[in-house]
Amino acid sequence: MSLKCGIVGLPNVGKSTLFNCLSNAKAQAANFPFCTIEPNLGVITVPDERLNVLAELVNPERIVPTTVEIVDIAGLVKGASKGEGLGNKFLGNIRECDAIIHVLRCFDDDNVVHVDGSVDPIRDKEIIDLELQLKDLETVEQRYAKVEKAAKTGGDREAKSLFEILKRYKEALEQGKSARTVVFENKDDIKLAKELCLLTAKPVLYVCNVDEQSAVNGNRYTELVEKAAKEEGAEILVVAAKIESDIAEFESMDEKQMFLEELGLKESGVSRLIKSAYRLLNLQTFLTAGPQEVRAWTFTKGWKAPQCAGVIHSDFEKGFIRAEVIKYDDYVRLKGETACKEAGKMSVEGKDYIVQDGDIMHFRFNV
């Protein structure tokens, strides 16, 4: 399953710098480098140290990590909801994304002009939030008018449910709140709400672009963003995009790691960003390991074995018989599948098994 994240933000906040850092990031699989599909769209691997560890044990022909598509959505300005700039095109690009990476300028630099004349990440956040909310309100009001009559006069149960969903969204958006602040408990309501494809219903990660001195502990600007994000249940990540750009230039992983350690960082902001985006969408990874390949597969947390089998091939799900599962830690500790079998560390699971992150899976099926 593919994952697409859109990078948004006002001009001169560091979107393109961050996108370029991602474009230069070298993951552990040299045979799957970043590739540009369009000038503003790239595919990059999700860093997963477990693949390298398994590869040392299995010695496969190739390593295949899971991937994320990153879209650099430029040109979002005040008035975008009414078509200002290239508003409609870029709002359409956001609609196609699974999650939003919202870059906020959290650094002072007289040499980098701010579009609104001063550094204020909360104001910047609210400008883009408002444009997305206005577009969502327009979408909701159009559907509201169409559904209202059917909900009030007919016996269409789904129309009634949709009308109540639209009503709650309308109230929230009119109060200047994003659609993601409206929470539904019923599974059918969640499904109907998702089908509306509202921009502000998408999960968001606020990326605070800071200077080198603030790369580890943040600054007064990031504290303001953290407080605002907490109120809406969103995540934030502190990244020094300029420093990340320098790190991306190093060819050697050892050089990169040394540079990071000098700055007091354990891993690059780019790596943290990709992992955060992955978690943001409640995604996890199961693994397959054999002489042909060691591979990571993306699934949604809570999925059962047949659904995960379907990630590899639809036939695997249709004809699912059982799943043979080895926990990653056991596989590494005992150094392979054979030893795990002998030690009784391979379990045979049926259709109700809930797959866990890092499970090493082998599916048995019959079509």
**Cα–Cα distance measured from residue 169 to residue 201, given in angstroms and rounded to the nearest whole number:** 10
pLDDT tens digits for range 9-43: 887 788 888 887 776 543 333 333 444 445 577 78
Within the chain, residue ranges assigned H as helices are 15-24, 49-58, 87-95, 121-153, 157-174, 187-195, 220-231, 241-249, 253-263, 269-280, 305-312, 314-318, 328-334, 337-342
Per-residue model confidence (pLDDT) at position 38: 54
**Cα–Cα distance measured from residue 196 to residue 58, given in angstroms and rounded to the nearest whole number:** 45
**DSSP-derived 3-state class of residue 86:** coil
- Low-confidence residues in the chain, pLDDT < 50: 25-37, 85-87
In the block, tokens 């990078």 appear at 7
Q: Categorise residue 79: left if φ over 0, alpha if ψ from -120 to 50, beta otherwise.
A: left
% helix / strand / coil in the chain, to the nearest 5?
45, 20, 35
Choose among 350, 352, 320, 326: nearest CA to 338. Answer: 326
pLDDT tens digits for range 350-363: 999 999 999 999 99
